[in-house]
Amino acid sequence: MDQNISFATVETIRALLDRGQITATQLLEYTLSEISRTNPTLNSFILITESLARAQAEAADARIEQGKPVSPIDGIPIAVKDLYDTAGVVTAGGTAAFEKRTPDYDSYVVGKLQRAGALIVGKTNTHELALGGTTNNPHYGPTHNPWNLENVPGGSSGGSGAALASGQVSLALGTDTGGSVRIPSAFCGVTGHKPTYGLVGKSGIIPLSKTLDHPGPMARSAFDCALLLNQMTGRDINDPDNINFDFSTDFTQNIKKSVKGITLAIIPSLLVDSELGVTQSFTRSIEVLEQMGVNITEIEPTTNNELNTEDTRRYDSEIAWGEPLPAIIRNLSPILLSEGSTYIENILQTKPHLIGQAVRERMMRGIDISVHDYIRALDWRKEIESRFENCLLHSTIDGYIVPTSPQVAEPITSDPHVGIEPAVKFRNTSVFNHTRQPSISVPNGFSNEGLPTGLMITTAQKNDALALRIAHQYQLNTNFHLSRPPVYE
């Protein structure tokens, strides 16, 4: 084995395992060696679970030797964001307040993946309590972007993004409350999917906002994200939002079908003030999609009254729907901050010093939000969800396309304890946490400084298969997802 396997697809690794050309144990030892070699520079992992992974590898080898792998990811290492409970393993959520928190049970997703034979190799660094987009963690140190070690990997799933981009692992878990799967995917040049809200069970995941949290798969390709998503879904009896889904869906079944003839809509207000490199990459992406036979149009879902029923216009007198979409989304900030602060209210009141300054200050603002502002924001969120869904369900439009973020990865601050970041970073991604629609980020180019950019594709709720199919077909017509950071070429 050499570095080529570090960047191999899951399909390739699966074939090598099934043919006996490598064993799961050999693959694991190589993975652990690569993590040991590169992690001092990247700080993508904050905890390695060697004993657990070795026991899992031995069990996987026994199954594979008998020709009975239990899933396509049986025997394949995976990185787990430090929000997912793993029995007997510290799950701290990136904060000193939980530094000794050791759950007795797996989160729903980790339990599913263990039963699918995945090898849990460790916990990846996260922005503290998932509230931020840099992964400049004041307790565990900043994670570095493999494309430029002086820059952030994005967040809050920055450790998972960096682990994938550097070839430490081929699969990883993230969570997405305002873009925390898709932002690091864009910044690190990998692929990340935010599923339809509720499709993946949330029980056993340290919450930020239960209204907006989405567990999601991260990989280097849309196809591998689909493979991983297949193993993450199912009925989570401890998550009341995880209902009314067809959990038998195979997200790879139709992924290779052409997308010729579908229609994707640009949202112009989400292009404003984008950095030059982002705009250039997006323009080229449109050209590629049109060459693929995709129809491109434009729409502003919040102001398109032709598709909004009388019922969906009931808030017109309370919120200025004629404002640009980003201004409307800012009205919804009480949801995240009030829910996030409520979960750790006792810590904020009794041991606030255990939470880093930047996150602590934001959480404290959440405590002061009135119940009236919170309830009003919840109602407006539902209104935005309705308008965005109507545009897809009652028109010829199949999905939305915008840049994942208006910017590329910014430099790591000289003081990671501060964690200040551009406010515009989450502008595009957060919209689709509120609409609860499936949304995937794929690599679509580079800035003049060589930093990755991302294309975000969003479809109607419960149509994750289409979002993944469009992303996969786009990747068949481009090679950005195959690019490696220069140091790993």
At residue 230, the 3 state secondary structure works out as: helix
Phi, psi of 84 (to 5 degrees): -85, 120
Q: Which residues contact 84 (CB under 8 A, 6 or more apart)?
A: 91, 107, 109, 110, 173, 175, 204, 205, 215
Task: Determine the straight-line distance between the first and last CA of the chain, rounded to whole angstroms.
Answer: 15
Do residues 413 and 352 lie in contact, with contact meaning Cβ atoms separated by under 8 Å?
Answer: no
Q: What is the DSSP string of 441-480?
A: EEEEEE-TTS-EEEEEEEE-TT-HHHHHHHHHHHHHS--G
Active site residue 269: no
H helix or E strand, kind and range, residue 123: strand 119-124
Place of tokens 């930020």: 208
Q: What is the DSSP string of 369-405?
A: --HHHHHHHHHHHHHHHHHHHHHHHSSS--EEEEES-
Q: Which residues contact 101 (CB under 8 A, 6 or more apart)?
A: 90, 91, 92, 93
Residue of 343, 320, 44, 48 whose CA lies nearest to 177: 343
* DSSP at 154: -
Beta bridge partner(s), residue 292? none
Alpha helices in 257-317 (DSSP H): 276-291
At residue 265, the 3 state secondary structure works out as: strand
Active site residue 180: yes
Pairing of strands 263-266, 295-298: parallel
Q: State the catalytic residue, choosing from 157, 166, 180, 447.
A: 180
Q: State the catalytic residue, choosing from 6, 44, 156, 274.
A: 156
Pairing of strands 263-266, 399-403: parallel
H helix or E strand, kind and range, residue 17: helix 10-18
Cα(100)–Cα(90) distance, integer angstroms: 6
How far out from the chain centre does Cα 14 lie?
24
Do residues 108 and 204 lie in contact, with contact meaning Cβ atoms separated by under 8 Å?
Answer: yes
* DSSP at 439: E
Phi, psi of 205 (to 5 degrees): -110, 130
Active site residue 51: no
Q: State the catalytic residue, choosing from 44, 81, 439, 441.
A: 81
Catalytically active residues, by annotation: 81, 156, 180
